[in-house]
Amino acid sequence: MSRNIISCSSGDDLQAAWQVMMENRIQNMPVLGNDAKPLGVLDIRDALRVLFEQEQLQEHMLANYIAGIGY
């Protein structure tokens, strides 16, 4: 057990949470509510999948913009 628990809140930016996980070399991070009660666990693979999907969407939107299709 560690004394300092690294956690995030449900309102935190996913990119920032992923960065904290990478810096601390952790695979899972507890997600805490406003009252510091656990809401769930963020898995690094899930975070990376969502970040990748966001990047794909941005790339698709940019390609459509350049092609003149619009958003």
Domain boundaries, the chain: 8-67
Res. 68 pLDDT band, cuts 50 70 90: confident
pTM for this structure?
Answer: 0.73
CATH, range 8-67: 3.10.580.10
Interval 24-43: pLDDT, tens: 999 999 999 999 899 999 99
pLDDT reported for residue 70: 64
* 59 touches 30 (CB < 8 A): no
Tell whether the model's pLDDT for residue 71 goes beyond 60.
no
- Rounded-to-integer distance, Cα 55 and Cα 62, Å: 11
Alpha helices, DSSP H, located in the chain: 14-24, 44-67
